[in-house]
């Protein structure tokens, strides 16, 4: 299937190489990732304070479709669990942030400020048990693109 | 028939007519019928079957993208939930697309846009319970004229000239019918915000268009009173209403007495939101009816509640009921009949029977004689658990088919709890212990903060077979059914605060704020303000996974082949790559776990001469393919995988196929996560 790799997919590979053992042809891709400045979502990329602010926004603006427990419902996508993790695994927080910016809240996209969107994102990370740290999530897509979304902790069991 | 203008603010969006692909004059009648895809499920029998065999086991891996079309610009924002299945008739491909639910006509060989039609519905569209692009449309021709019919988010039936994409002026009111009118009920509170709509494709049979109805998600309604989801037939030439079937009987009609205390008067929903099936020869229509208000609490609607969760057969000409069978008495589990009934001519125990087979969320395939409504294999009225929710009315029994056996999990038993390792098993048991659980039809309970938090169910709201439905091979009499086998659903009930709902109980978890849950795309501004949240002192919520691993054992998603002559399972396979979170889980290192399939509830299958084809519903990244999902092909005799083709995003609309100029194409809708909606057409490379 390697021949079906499109350019776009190739770019994403740079972001996801680290957690997987990729055979042969992708070695150069792994090297590229290792030398970049990117971090993983497991590296304490938001603060608890920010997640708390995000929770307030989430409950007001998001919970009526995605649910208080982020499980989604009907057509609203879950923001926790297997489907959520698989949807975003291998992309970046910038991609997830962009999706929120472009399309949410459903009835009135763009209603929230970038700061509010970043705070909601922090709350979603916190709900999914990604660890909190001392630096807040940026509200700039470019910075968030440097943070890889990884479903499983690459450092677990090491 | 009374007819008023649909909506003063509504206007034609735009129509662009690009090229004259159509030959002048009559529609060619000698086209090979089996090479087209003229209705949502290939035919009116709900089969999703075409006997094509250019793409087959030996070359499936060679197929490549013929064309693709992003739907971002068919609306004022991109859509991430593209669920359509296109039609291909007479050399043109038609589909609904984008957040506008535009209709597009494409050249099926190249994907070139021929025309586009859209309706701006303003506040009415914004308030619609079912928005986005919907599942598709219907095609009709009398041999001369060709028409396309679809329903807008705001519940207008639009009739288009298939050649130009322009409204047909002689149909309804300048090409549109306001479906909120002439419905034997006053849609409340008003025509703009009144809750009713539909996202499925209309069906046209013998010059009659049949339309059902859909509503908001039904777990937490504001009121026990809601609009009702009647089904209507309209004349495809004029838009004149020909008949109506009251899915909740009116006073004096059969079944009214199954709603005690006059509850038929105010109870709503009970629509047919999924695909309708028709036997044109017999002149019979098969209506799969959904749950009444509300999904999980029926204390305000005591009685069996006909025709909730009932398969109803009506006359195509009159809408008169011929027979019915209620699959679930007094529905409490959101077991809407969620997909098209499948027509099947079988030979059971040596006897030829014109049958209808109904796949379900609860994993039973119910098979009836489609003329008489008699079960082909007997059903047992089995005693089921009677619950304890104050005010609830319980049916003491439910019908259980003796054949075929359930094809997906519909209850939670000890042996279903995940046990990859002893430690994971212990953790999973600890989570399950916070819930009440048991076999199929274990009723919902009141959520208690110290437990049980609710009833842990599977095969309910998002279980088994959902709206994409099954598929069927009329030559071999084998049905192929995708099912979510592990979509666990906790159902807890909480007392509804008066300012939230006038119902005694709605869905919720003890310790969590009680909220009205809405579906996607509902107008955020239209809702009543919520009481401010102070934060629960103690939250009862427990995630249904162990460090990201699903609570129930694999397989998570399956495809099952069922021989309908015998009522027996021929084969069953896990469909879908093992999710990354399982495959890469540190606690599972060194374990040999066979392919698990995926916890996805909305995968549709396609059957060809030799293959069963279905895409994956989740993204994975493996050593075999980059981040993406695979469109997989299985040998339909054995279930053995014979090929897989890369897709950039999960399948969200069921695949279809057609032949054009000697080439077979497969078109599938993909979207989700960061990937906005796209139709992709696959074909074999041209011969050298």
Tens digits of residue pLDDT in B339-382: 999 999 999 989 999 999 999 999 999 999 999 999 999 999 99
> Residue B270 — φ and ψ, nearest 5°?
55, 40
Residues 88-107 of A with CB under 8 A from B: 88-91, 95-96, 98-99, 102-103, 105-107
Q: Between chains, do A83 and B580 touch, taking CB under 8 Å as contact? A: no
For residue A71, the chain B residue with the least C-alpha distance is B543
Average pLDDT (A53-64) is 92
Residues 375-404 of B with CB under 8 A from A: none
Does a structural domain hold residue B532? no
**Cα separation of B283 and B313, whole Å?**
10
Q: Of the candidates B533, B599, B645, which has its C-beta nearest A82's C-beta?
A: B599
B169 near A CB under 8 A: no
CB B406 within 8 A of CB B350: no
Average pLDDT (B462-487) is 97
pLDDT of residue B15: 58
| DSSP letter string, B503-517 | SSEEE--TTSPP---
Q: Which residues of A touch B618 (CB under 8 A)?
A: 82-83, 86-87
Structure-token pair, residue B107: 């050249």
Structure confidence at residue A147 as a pLDDT band (50, 70, 90): very high
Tens digits of residue pLDDT in B600-617: 989 999 999 999 999 999
Q: Between chains, do B522 and A96 touch, taking CB under 8 Å as contact? A: no
H-helix or E-strand spanning residue A127: helix A114-127
Q: Which residues of A touch B584 (CB under 8 A)?
A: 19-20, 151-152
Q: Is the pLDDT of residue A154 over 70?
A: yes
pLDDT of residue A3: 37
Average pLDDT (A11-29) is 35
CB B586 within 8 A of CB B31: no
Does a structural domain hold residue B528? no
pLDDT of residue B525: 27
CA A49 to chain B, closest CA, distance in angstroms equals: 15
Structure-token pair, residue B460: 């309910």
DSSP SS3 for B233: strand
**Cα separation of A98 and B460, whole Å?**
33
Q: Of the candidates B520, B586, B624, which has its C-beta nearest A106's C-beta?
A: B520
Average pLDDT (B16-36) is 60
Closest CA to B362 of B464, B456, B451, B449: B464
Provide the sign of the torsion angle of the four alpha carbons B530, B535, B540, B543, taken in this order. Answer: positive
CB A141 within 8 A of CB A61: no
Structure confidence at residue B651 as a pLDDT band (50, 70, 90): very high
Tens digits of residue pLDDT in B524-567: 222 223 333 344 445 567 778 888 899 999 999 999 999 999 99
B532 near A CB under 8 A: no
Query: What is the crossing angle of helices A48-61 and A114-127, to 10°?
Result: 100
To probe the interface with B, which of A5, A82, A91, A156 has the most B CB atoms within 10 Å?
A: A82
CA A145 to chain B, closest CA, distance in angstroms equals: 13
Q: Which residues of A touch B198 (CB under 8 A)?
A: none
Structure confidence at residue B523 as a pLDDT band (50, 70, 90): very low
Closest CA to B517 of A102, A153, A73: A73
**Cα separation of B392 and B398, whole Å?**
16
Q: Between chains, do A20 and B584 touch, taking CB under 8 Å as contact? A: yes
Structure-token pair, residue B671: 């979207």
For residue A19, the chain B residue with the least C-alpha distance is B584
H-helix or E-strand spanning residue A143: helix A141-144
Structure confidence at residue B463 as a pLDDT band (50, 70, 90): very high
Give percent above pLDDT 90 in chain B. Answer: 85
CB B157 within 8 A of CB B211: yes
Q: Of the candidates A22, A73, A86, which has its C-beta nearest B618's C-beta?
A: A86
Average pLDDT (B479-499) is 94
Q: Which residues of A touch B645 (CB under 8 A)?
A: 4
Domain boundaries, position B279: 11-523+540-683
Q: What is the pTM of this model?
A: 0.90
Q: Between chains, do A73 and B580 touch, taking CB under 8 Å as contact? A: no
Q: Which residues of A touch B62 (CB under 8 A)?
A: none
Q: Between chains, do A16 and B621 touch, taking CB under 8 Å as contact? A: yes
Does a structural domain hold residue B251? yes
Cβ atoms within 10 Å, residue B653: 28
Structure-token pair, residue B166: 């322009």
Instruction: List, in order of start, the domains of chain A with CATH numbers.
Output: 2-36 (no CATH), 48-148 (1.10.760.10)
Q: Which residues of A touch B520 (CB under 8 A)?
A: 65, 74-76, 106
Q: Which residues of A touch B623 (CB under 8 A)?
A: 20-23
Average pLDDT of chain B to the nearest whole number: 92
Tens digits of residue pLDDT in B398-432: 999 999 999 999 999 999 999 999 999 999 999 99
Does a structural domain hold residue B535? no
Q: Is the pLDDT of residue B681 over 60?
A: yes
Q: Is the pLDDT of residue B5 over 70?
A: no
Question: What is the domain-level CATH number for residue B559?
Answer: 2.140.10.10
Interface A-B: count of C-beta contacts within 8 A:
167
Q: Of the candidates B512, B515, B581, which has its C-beta nearest A64's C-beta?
A: B515
Does a structural domain hold residue B534? no
pLDDT of residue B260: 98
To probe the interface with A, which of B447, B518, B579, B599 has the most A CB atoms within 10 Å?
A: B518
N residues, chain B: 688
How many domains does one find in chain B? Answer: 1
Structure confidence at residue A4 as a pLDDT band (50, 70, 90): very low
Q: Of the candidates A86, A88, A153, which has its C-beta nearest B579's C-beta?
A: A86
pLDDT of residue B25: 45
Average pLDDT (B111-130) is 95
Structure-token pair, residue A74: 């009907």
Q: Between chains, do A4 and B620 touch, taking CB under 8 Å as contact? A: no
Q: Of the candidates B519, B620, B626, which has its C-beta nearest A86's C-beta?
A: B620
Average pLDDT (B293-308) is 97
**Cα separation of B672 and B658, whole Å?**
25
């Amino acid at each position: 299937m390697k021949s079906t790799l499109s350019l776009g997919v190739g770019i994403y590979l740079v972001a996801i190489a680290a957690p997987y053992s990729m055979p042969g042809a992708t070695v150069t891709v792994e090297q590229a990732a290792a030398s970049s400045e990117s971090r993983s979502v497991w590296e304490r990329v938001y603060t608890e304070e920010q997640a708390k602010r995000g929770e307030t926004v989430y409950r007001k603006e998001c919970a009526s479709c995605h649910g208080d427990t982020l499980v989604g419902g009907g057509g609203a996508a879950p923001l926790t669990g297997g489907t959520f993790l698989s949807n975003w695994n291998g992309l970046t927080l910038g991609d997830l942030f962009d999706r929120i910016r472009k399309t949410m809240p459903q009835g009135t996209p763009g209603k929230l400020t970038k700061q509010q969107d970043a705070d909601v994102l922090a709350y979603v990370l916190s709900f999914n048990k990604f660890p909190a740290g001392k630096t807040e999530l940026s509200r700039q897509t470019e910075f968030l693109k440097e943070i890889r979304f990884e479903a499983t902790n690459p450092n677990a069991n090491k | 028939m009374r007819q008023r203008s649909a909506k003063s603010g509504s206007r034609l969006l735009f129509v662009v007519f690009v090229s004259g692909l159509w030959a002048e004059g009559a529609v060619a009648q000698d086209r090979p019928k089996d090479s087209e895809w003229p209705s949502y499920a290939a035919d009116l029998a709900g089969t999703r079957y075409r006997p094509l065999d250019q793409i087959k086991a030996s070359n499936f891996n060679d197929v490549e993208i013929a064309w693709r079309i992003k739907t971002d610009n068919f609306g004022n924002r991109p859509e991430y939930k593209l669920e359509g299945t296109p039609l291909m008739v007479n050399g043109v491909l038609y589909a609904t697309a984008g957040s506008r639910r535009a209709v597009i006509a494409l050249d099926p060989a190249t994907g070139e846009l021929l025309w586009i039609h859209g309706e701006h519905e303003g506040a009415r569209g914004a308030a619609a319970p079912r928005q986005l692009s919907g599942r598709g449309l219907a095609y009709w021709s009398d041999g001369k004229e060709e028409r396309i019919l679809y329903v807008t988010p705001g519940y207008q039936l639009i009739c288009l000239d298939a050649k130009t994409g322009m409204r047909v002026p002689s149909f309804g009111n300048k090409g549109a019918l306001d479906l909120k009118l002439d419905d034997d009920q006053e849609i409340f509170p008003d025509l703009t915000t009144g809750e009713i709509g539909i996202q499925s494709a209309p069906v046209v049979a013998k010059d009659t268009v049949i339309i059902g109805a859909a509503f908001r998600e039904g777990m937490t309604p504001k009121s026990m009173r809601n609009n009702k989801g009647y089904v209507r037939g309209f004349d495809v030439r004029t838009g004149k209403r020909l008949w109506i079937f009251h899915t909740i009987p009116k006073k004096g009609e059969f079944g009214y007495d199954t709603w005690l205390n006059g509850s038929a008067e105010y109870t709503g929903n009970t629509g047919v939101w999924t695909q309708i099936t028709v036997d044109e020869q017999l002149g019979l229509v098969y209506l799969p009816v959904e749950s009444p208000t509300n999904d999980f609490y029926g204390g305000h609607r005591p009685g069996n509640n006909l025709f909730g969760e009932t398969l109803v057969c009506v006359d195509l000409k009159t809408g008169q009921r011929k027979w019915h069978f209620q699959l679930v008495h007094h529905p409490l589990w959101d077991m809407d009949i969620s997909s098209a009934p499948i027509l099947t001519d079988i030979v059971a125990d040596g006897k030829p029977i014109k049958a209808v087979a109904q796949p379900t969320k609860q994993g039973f395939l119910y098979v009836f004689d489609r003329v008489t409504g008699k079960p082909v294999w007997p059903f047992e009225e089995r005693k089921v658990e009677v619950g304890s929710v104050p005010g609830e009315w319980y049916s003491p029994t439910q019908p259980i088919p003796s054949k075929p056996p359930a094809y997906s999990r519909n209850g939670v038993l000890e042996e279903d709890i995940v046990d990859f390792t002893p430690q994971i098993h212990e953790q999973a048991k600890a989570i399950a212990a916070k819930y009440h659980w048991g076999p199929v039809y274990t009723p919902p309970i009141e959520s208690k903060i110290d437990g049980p938090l609710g009833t842990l169910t599977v095969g309910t709201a998002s279980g088994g077979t959902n709206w994409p439905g099954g598929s069927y091979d009329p030559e071999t009499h084998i049905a192929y059914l995708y099912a979510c086998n592990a979509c666990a659903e906790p159902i807890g009930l909480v007392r509804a605060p008066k300012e939230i709902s006038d119902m005694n109980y709605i869905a919720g978890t003890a310790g969590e704020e009680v909220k009205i849950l809405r579906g996607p795309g509902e107008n955020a501004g239209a809702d009543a303000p919520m009481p401010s949240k102070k934060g629960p002192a103690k939250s009862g919520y427990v995630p249904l996974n162990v460090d990201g691993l699903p609570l129930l054992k694999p397989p998570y998603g399956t495809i099952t082949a069922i021989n309908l002559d015998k009522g027996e399972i021929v084969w069953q396979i896990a469909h879908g790559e093992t999710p990354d979170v399982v495959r890469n889980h540190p606690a599972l290192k060194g374990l040999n776990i066979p392919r698990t399939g995926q916890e996805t509830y909305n995968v549709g299958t396609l059957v060809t001469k030799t293959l069963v084809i279905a895409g994956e519903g989740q993204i994975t990244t493996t050593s075999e393919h980059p981040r993406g999902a695979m469109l997989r092909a299985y040998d339909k005799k054995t279930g053995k995988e014979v090929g897989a083709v890369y897709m950039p995003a999960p399948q969200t609309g069921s695949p279809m196929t057609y032949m054009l100029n000697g080439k077979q194409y497969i078109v599938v809708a993909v979207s989700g996560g960061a990937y906005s909606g796209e139709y992709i057409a696959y074909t074999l490379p041209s011969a050298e």
